[in-house]
Structure 1
């Protein structure tokens, strides 16, 4: 919007508003986030203390990397680990872009939405481990957050199943690291 500053000033008065998310995954242009008007809006969020959640598919990750680099003072959260096709196994392009995104200290990653990215919602616990390994390696435990994706997750599994996937995977980490992923990192990122 031409009056983005005015609109953000108005909405940011609500202390419950912590960030903005546009459903970029629905945009047909994989470079939507590189548009001048979109980046103009992103460029105003930090002054109001607002975060931006990146909700994209893997084919939009290259643009997400460029966006994060263009706005190093903006806090970004990658939602749903960028929705890779879990049932098809690791895709080299997805891995590459996740690692590139992780190089930006202003980007964190929400481990969520994985069960709905399985074929016919059929999955096994071990299907998710390679993906969680990549994001843990790329972002470290300090920039990784658990997210349930409830109620959408119910399409592919119960809340208990979804949380168990992550809890089982991170059981190898320290108590402090697990507490970060399961809550404290979200508190820090969104200034709760």
Structure 2
């Protein structure tokens, strides 16, 4: 388990230069996201929260996104890891990965599986299966982004690929507005039983009603995740700037404080950075 002296990291956030065509998922009801978000915007928030750094995660499906995040990480060394995008189904996957072989900060990849017409079918495509096996063989993390209804398919996928760490984003996006806690917990339990699967405590606020969510509505989901995964496989992520749809950065952190304040120092350190350091192979030294 992680040391109490681990780095304190925000394990999930995004940067972008806003362009409507490049970010079709930013809908008309997300006007607050239709602007640029840079490391210079995030750093004061990290400082106020006592964070040593962050992990930058892709937000659009193109290799240019990966290159841009890696460039940012060169200029801002507190971006401790990058989770980029690559076409896992491509025949030239190996050469694409080789192109980034000299970028050690690139620790994993993600695809917006939730945007596929049938995420369950997509995950079982032979091309995707081969691509994921390639990532695992290279020691690269893969992050799974789906909604709760596809957790069964995710469990099957993760059972098939156990050679390296896999990470579930946003607690599998439970349907908070429908108050489906018990159904989501039943779906999540078989996945959490797989020791190589980890989970980000992120993105929960924006699954609730943005303007009138309450902590008491959300903390039961955090407690279920803690019970099923344990702190050594959980990590905090703000999902900034997406979290701004429903909350400021500080309130996003405070929500998780309500969970971790009941834990011991070592368990707290795991969730607030130790797990992320271990999963993404981040050196624990501050800089």
SS in 2 for 1:181: helix
Of 100, 124, 136, which aligns to 1:34? 124
Q: Does 1:90 align with 2:180?
A: yes
Determine which of 159, 168, 171 is the counterpart of 1:69: 159
1:173 aligns to what?
263
| Distance of 1:10 and 1:93 partners within structure 2 | 43
Is the contact made by 2:111 and 2:144 (CA closer than 8 Å) also made in structure 1? yes
How many residue pairs match? The answer is 192
- Tell me, yes or no, if structure 1 residue 17 matches structure 2 residue 106: yes
1:145 matched to which residue of 2? Answer: 235
> What's the secondary structure of 2:96's corresponding residue?
helix
Report what 1:7 is aligned to. Answer: 96
Give the structure with the larger helix fraction: 1
TM norm structure 1:
0.95
Are the counterparts in 2 of residues 145 and 181 from structure 1 also a CA contact under 8 Å?
yes
Higher RCO (CA < 8 A, seq sep 6+): 2
Distance 1:121 1:66, change over 3 A: farther
Unpaired stretches in structure 1, ≥5 consecutive residues: none
Match of 1:101 among 173, 191, 195: 191
